Amino acid sequence: MNETVVIVNPTAGGGRAGRFWDRMRPLAETLSAISVVMPSDASASRRAVAEALASGCRRVVAVGGDGTAHLVANALLSGGGEGTIMGIVPAGTGSDLARALGIPRAPAAALRQALAGSSVLVDAGLCDGPASRFAFVNIASAGISGLVDEAVNAMPGRGRTAFLRATLAALRRYRCVPVRVSLDDREWYEGPLFLLAVANGTTFGKGMRVAPGARLDDGLFDVVAVGEVSGWELVVRLPQVYLGRHLHARPVRHARARRVRLEPLAPLPPLDVDGETYPSGPLDFTVAPGALRIAASPFVHALEGESR
């Protein structure tokens, strides 16, 4: 097998990733000697990454959405992929991780970065609980966000407004759930939860800047909790989330921590994890500093004018 393996999820983005790869494969083959795998499902994707690592592969490139990148990252972290470079070519619905990494939006530039670009060390989040155990790179969240993911993933043709439409639909359905949240072993929040974001990256839901000051390489989570919000406040606050101007709003709390403990006091909807859903329940989140090596340009902190 070649030293670079490309994992293509042809169904990502409602089929957009498959069409993208058909157009871009000739360019990819001029940039690097590659082996291409189009797995049929998540289990096949995990096997493909494991086989690539066993064969001595030094770079694994994910072509698809945030879920494809999430799957490849988990396979690398659990399969002895230390030192293996992960490339990301965003071709899905949200592509929020690529946004946080500063990966070019132009397809050819993103492909060049993924296949032949230099790399940076990126933190990973690790989650452990009775119902779920996983790693994540961008954001894990609880509350309304799981309903949004379910709605988006059920859309056959997603389009540019998929996350906005799913968010508006979830707002009509969701009812706040009581929870207890601890940061670094100290109680931090107890009460009704609209949203809890444990953020390594800055955005989710196709550009919602839920944690605008988060860094992917500082060894800390940015934790954002939103308590109960009235209907009229939601109308006002939603545009603020896209702009990253919500952190000082009345129902919002924000802090940074290395460890986060979530204890639901009533059943929660599924978790949103890098655009995928996982069962909710009592969960412990910890940062794994520099756990992944990803093909991206060196980070410029104070992103988009934000400072720490």
Average pLDDT of the chain?
A: 88
Residue 281's pLDDT band, with cuts at 50, 70 and 90, is: very high
The whole-number pLDDT of residue 308 equals 43
Residues 6+ apart with CB under 8 A from 251: 194, 226, 227, 228, 229, 233
Residues 6+ apart with CB under 8 A from 250: 233
Which residues carry out catalysis?
276
CB under 8 A, 24+ apart: contacts of 30-33: 31/111, 31/112, 31/115, 31/116, 32/2, 32/4, 32/59, 32/115, 32/116, 33/2, 33/3, 33/4
**Nearest CA to 216 among 107, 145, 136?**
136
pLDDT in tens, 50-81: 998 988 899 999 998 888 999 999 999 988 77
Comparing 12-16, 122-126, 130-134, 302-306, the range with the smallest average pLDDT is 302-306
| Radius of gyration over every alpha carbon of the chain, rounded to an integer in angstroms | 19
Instruction: Please say if the pLDDT value at position 101 is more than 80.
Output: yes
Comparing 44-58, 150-164, 166-180, 214-228, the range with the smallest average pLDDT is 150-164
* Residues shown for the chain: 308
Q: Kindly state the tokens that stand for 81.
A: 């992929």
Cα 107 from Cα 113, distance rounded (Å): 10
**Mean pLDDT, residues 18-33 taken together:** 89
Beta bridge partners of 191: 179
**Mean pLDDT, residues 33-52 taken together:** 88
Residues 6+ apart with CB under 8 A from 238: 167
**Nearest CA to 138 among 206, 225, 62, 70?**
70
Residues 6+ apart with CB under 8 A from 54: none
pLDDT in tens, 200-212: 999 998 888 999 9
Determine which helix (DSSP H) or strand (DSSP E) holds 120, and give its type and residue range. strand 119-128
**Nearest CA to 114 among 10, 5, 16, 11?**
5
Q: Kindly state the tokens that stand for 294.
A: 């990803």
Q: Which residue has the tokens 């871009």?
A: 24
Residue 180's pLDDT band, with cuts at 50, 70 and 90, is: very high
Output the DSSP codes for 154-175: T-SS--TTHHHHHHHHHHHH--
Domains located in the chain, CATH noted:
4-117 (3.40.50.10330), 127-289 (2.60.200.40)
The residue with greater pLDDT, 200 or 236, is 200
